[in-house]
Amino acid sequence: MVTSRWTATPARPAALRRRGAVLEQAILDAALEQLGTVGWNGLTMEGVAAAAQTGKAAVYRRWPSKEDLVADALEAGLPSFEEAPDLGDVRADLFALCRKARDAMFSRPGSALRAVIHECDHLQAERFHGVILGGVIEPAIRLIGEVIARGIARGEVRPDAANGYVCDAIPAMMMYRSKLCGSEWNDADLEELLDQLVLPLLRPSGG
């Protein structure tokens, strides 16, 4: 029996052929993954392209800089704040909203965003502060305002509580304690925030 001295070459895996939104989402997901593993300083456009299994040119065609790519990846990944909870009680509504904000802060995009801001220089960080404001803080403040307005209509909340200082109190405290105290805001912490700080600001006098 004659044995061939030629050995078949193993087949190479077919290249992924993705276009449009599918390819863009793969690149954004790869950017978030890279942020979680190598951080802002270690992230490169080449590394993102390799993780997304595409060419570097495909990344640069869509995002001319690392800042542009990371900003879009973070914005696309953050949970959306579209509707205020409506459970018939201002405390229950605010608690549900606080949990949603907490989950956004500690989601993969939220954690990556906070890590990026710590690593960036001052000018770069300004860009990503805008992502926090536009993606989490401003929508949360708007929904807090809606919850308070419903509470006023039900007589649970004093009429003059619908002001910027009261609406700022929850996100300001959550950001402050998360950054400076390392708080992860479990449910008991959120309830304490509401019962000891927020609800006393909202209750009608004598309520």
**Domains delineated in the chain:** 20-73 (1.10.10.60), 78-202 (1.10.357.10)
The reported pLDDT for the residue numbered 80 is: 81
Can you read off the two tokens belonging to residue 82? 């579209």
| pLDDT tens sequence across 94-152 | 999 999 989 888 888 888 887 787 888 877 777 788 888 888 888 989 999 999 999 99
Sign of CA dihedral 100, 29, 32, 69: negative
In the block, tokens 């965003």 appear at 113
Q: Is the dihedral of CA 168, 91, 97, 145 positive or negative?
A: negative
Q: How far apart are CA 155 and CA 203, in angstroms?
A: 9
Separation of alpha carbons 113 and 107, rounded Å: 10
Question: What would the two tokens of residue 115 be?
Answer: 């890590």
Q: pTM for the whole thing? A: 0.76
pLDDT, position 2: 47
How far apart are alpha carbons 207 and 154 in whole angstroms?
13
- Coil, helix or strand for 36? helix
What confidence tens digit (pLDDT) does each residue in 156-207 have? 999 999 888 999 999 999 988 988 888 899 999 999 999 999 999 999 865 5
End-to-end CA, the chain: 98
Residue 18 pLDDT: 64
- Please name which of 71, 19, 66 lies closest in space to residue 43, comparing C-alpha atoms: 66
